[in-house]
Amino acid sequence: MRLKIVAAALAILALGGCATIPSAGTIGFGPDVASGLNNDEVYYSQTGPFEGASQEAILYGFLNSGNGPQNDYAVAREYLTKSFATKWQPNEEVLIQEGSPELFKVSETEYRVTVGVSAEIDSDGRYTDLPAGTKRTSTIDFVKAAGQWRIDSAPNQTIVIRPNFKVLFRSYSLFFFDPSLTYLVPEVRWFPSRASTGTRLMNALLKGPSDWLKPAVVNVIPVGTKLNINSVTIEDGVAQVDLSSQALRVPRAKRALMKSQIAATLEQLTDVTNVEISIQRTAQAISQYVDGQPPSLGSSPIALTNTGLVRLNASGAQAIAGTEAKVLAIGPTDFAYSQTQNRVALVSASGVHLYRLDSFNDGGKVVDKRANQLAPSFDPQGALWTLPSVQGAPFLVSGEQRVVLQNSWVVGIPLSFSVSPEGARVAVVYLINKTKITYVFPVERNKAGFAVALGKPIVVTAAPKNSDKVTWADNVTLALVTPSTPSGFIPCLITIGGLMNASTAIEAAASITVNGTGQIFVLQPDGNVVESRGSSWTTIAQKILALHL
């Protein structure tokens, strides 16, 4: 199963134990028979309208029924007239409610409902935080049907409170390729876990990436392709996907890539272990397809000491051969290390020095002489990214080609940056008018994989506004440390396009690192490295200058 690097950590941080639905009605723990979900799924058994219910009772029951997505919100539709029940589209929008709804009776058959809203999820699963104090107002119309009040007009949306959202909805990723067709790039979407989740994932995938991500990715599936029958069926762990004729435009040589995107997306479902594709009901023989996963983040953090780089693991600190002399020669304050490329970049007062570790006589070269350099970052394509903490400074990408990437989108002082595991995005914390804001830029690359430009970024709204160090925890999650009074500092994991989850507070923190298994490490200002173990922190190293993977 893909994308499980920090899934367990996120689940623990988010729920802190057994999940429940804090709302009226019966709470059940067990299988949703219609969807084939596992027994640990949580569902909320809704109650339909009672005989002789008033308009307000019908309205409150309808609003509350957004907590019951089973069978396409079947119980919610009981509050509607038969004709409107067939037209209502509950998946068009989900609102996360703050506070209690305000009801105002406009006429004998019309109510106005105002709801405080903290976030929204659109029909394709995109999650968006909304400014504090946001409110939505809608109109609900009633008619008498067989002597009972029923709703005859309402918005195509459902409303849930945040605790319910965290239980009913799950984050999934849609997968696209980088332009070199080497690595899969994820985009997070949110859907309730039910029988139709596979269908909604496929429909969202076929529509392609969000506008902000488009410059960085390629959708091998042709524009306009749809499900031939609007359903993904799952039998004995195999998801059956039947595509429309537009999919025939994919050359046979690239249909394995198409299957890679579809398999990576659907195999996140607990009951899917394989995917079979047909086009216009004609089975496609695609037995082999590329994995597309980026290099692993690794399990052991790398630390910079006064005498060289060391790898921190259960055996203690193990020296990385070839780094001692280089560290002693220039006295670096920070670094980047690439195990796959066997190279190291060291930051000193004279700039960023790049060395090959397979040559003990390598004198290295200064690839970026600008002052005030931030910690550099290697991308999986083999290039080194450097950036000084200076307003308006561009990225310098040193690889087979040397490229200057201007940032025309943000006016601020960069404080920290990190290139994503597959190289399609770069996260940057900027200081703007005394506020620290985290952005994620799409990285435009050519077909050879070389970076050529930065696209318009998105603001990571879930990230705290006072963190100055950012790193990738996996390919959909950022890690930051935020000051907190009086707790000291709180390590946070933030899903791009999703929620923030906080870990156990720590008294002091300078930077954070998360390994490939989701283990959190924090470097403290005194040079101690502490590791998260349950609800406590354990010191595993001392006299450390910088810490990365």
* CATH of span 7-168: 3.10.450
* CATH of span 302-548: 2.120.10.30
Q: What's the CA gap between 477 and 496, in Å, rounded? A: 6
Q: Which among 443, 376, 367, 435 has a CA at the least distance from the CA of 406?
A: 443
What's the number of CA atoms in the CB half-sphere (13 Å) around residue 66?
A: 26
Tokens representing 417 are: 């940056």
Neighbouring CB atoms inside 10 A of 26's CB total 10
Q: Edge-to-edge, what's the strand order for the sheet holding 334-338?
A: 334-338, 343-348, 351-356, 365-368
Q: Which CATH architecture has domain 169-283?
A: 2-Layer Sandwich (3.30)
Phi, psi for residue 258 in degrees, rounded to 5:
-60, -45
Q: pTM, whole model, 2 decimals?
A: 0.88
CB 479 within 8 A of CB 497: no
Q: Where are the domains of the chain?
A: 7-168, 169-283, 302-548
Task: Name the CA radius of gyration of the chain, rounded.
Answer: 26
pLDDT in tens, the chain (549 residues): 344 334 434 433 433 333 333 333 322 222 222 333 332 334 456 789 999 999 999 999 999 988 888 888 999 999 999 999 999 999 999 999 999 999 999 999 999 999 999 999 999 999 999 999 999 999 999 999 999 999 999 999 999 999 889 889 999 999 999 999 999 999 999 998 887 899 999 999 999 999 999 999 999 999 999 999 899 999 999 999 999 999 999 999 899 999 999 999 999 999 999 999 999 999 999 877 888 988 888 889 999 999 999 999 887 899 999 899 999 999 999 999 998 888 999 999 999 999 998 776 677 899 999 999 999 999 999 999 999 999 999 999 999 889 999 999 999 999 999 999 999 999 999 999 999 999 999 999 999 999 999 999 999 999 999 999 999 999 999 999 999 877 799 999 999 999 999 999 999 999 999 998 999 999 999 999 999 988 899 999 999 999 999
CB 395 within 8 A of CB 408: no
